[in-house]
C-alpha cells in the first residue's frame, strides 16, 4: 500500500498530476481521479479487480 502517495485505483495516476477524489468503501480509503469518477458511477463493473468488492455494485445503466 502507498498511503502517503494516493493514486487512482483505475489508472494509478497520482495527485501530483490530477485531482483525486477520496472514496471510503468497506472501511477502506481509496482514491480515483476525476477522469475515472464517472466510471465508478456509471460502470462500476469496469473496476472489478481494481477495487475490492466493487462487483457488488450496480451502475446506473444496469
Ligand atoms: Zn484514473
- 41-56 per-position pLDDT tens digit: 999 999 999 998 898 8
Residue 58 lies in a domain: no
Angstrom distance (rounded) from CA 62 to CA 51: 19
Domain-located, residue 20: yes
Q: Look at residue 2 in the predicted model and tell me its pLDDT.
A: 47
Structural domain includes residue 60:
no
Report the separation in Å between the CA atom of 18 and the middle of ligand 1, taken as the mean of its atom positions: 9
Q: Is residue 54 part of a domain?
A: no
Half-sphere exposure of 44 (CA within 13 A, CB side): 14
Query: Based on the structure, what is the number of domains in the chain?
Result: 1
Q: Flag whether 31 is in a domain.
A: yes
With respect to residue 57, please indicate whether it lies within any of the assigned structural domains. no
Residue 55 CA to ligand 1 center (angstroms) comes to 18
pLDDT of 60? 67
Ligand 1 center from residue 29 Cα (angstroms): 15
For ligand 1, the distance from its centroid to the CA atom of residue 12, given in whole angstroms, is 6
pLDDT digits (tens, 9 = 90+) for 2-55: 457 899 999 999 999 999 999 999 999 999 999 999 999 999 999 999 998 898
Alpha carbon of 53 to ligand 1 centroid (Å) = 18
Residue 37 domain boundaries: 1-49
Q: Is a pLDDT exceeding 80 seen at residue 1?
A: no
Amino acid at each position: 500500500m502507498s498511503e502517503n502517495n494516493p493514486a487512482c485505483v483505475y489508472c494509478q495516476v497520482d495527485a501530483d498530476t490530477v485531482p483525486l477524489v477520496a472514496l471510503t468503501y468497506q472501511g477502506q480509503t481509496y482514491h480515483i481521479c476525476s477522469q475515472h469518477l464517472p466510471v465508478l458511477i456509471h460502470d462500476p463493473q469496469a473496476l472489478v479487480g481494481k477495487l475490492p468488492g466493487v462487483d457488488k455494485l450496480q451502475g446506473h445503466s444496469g
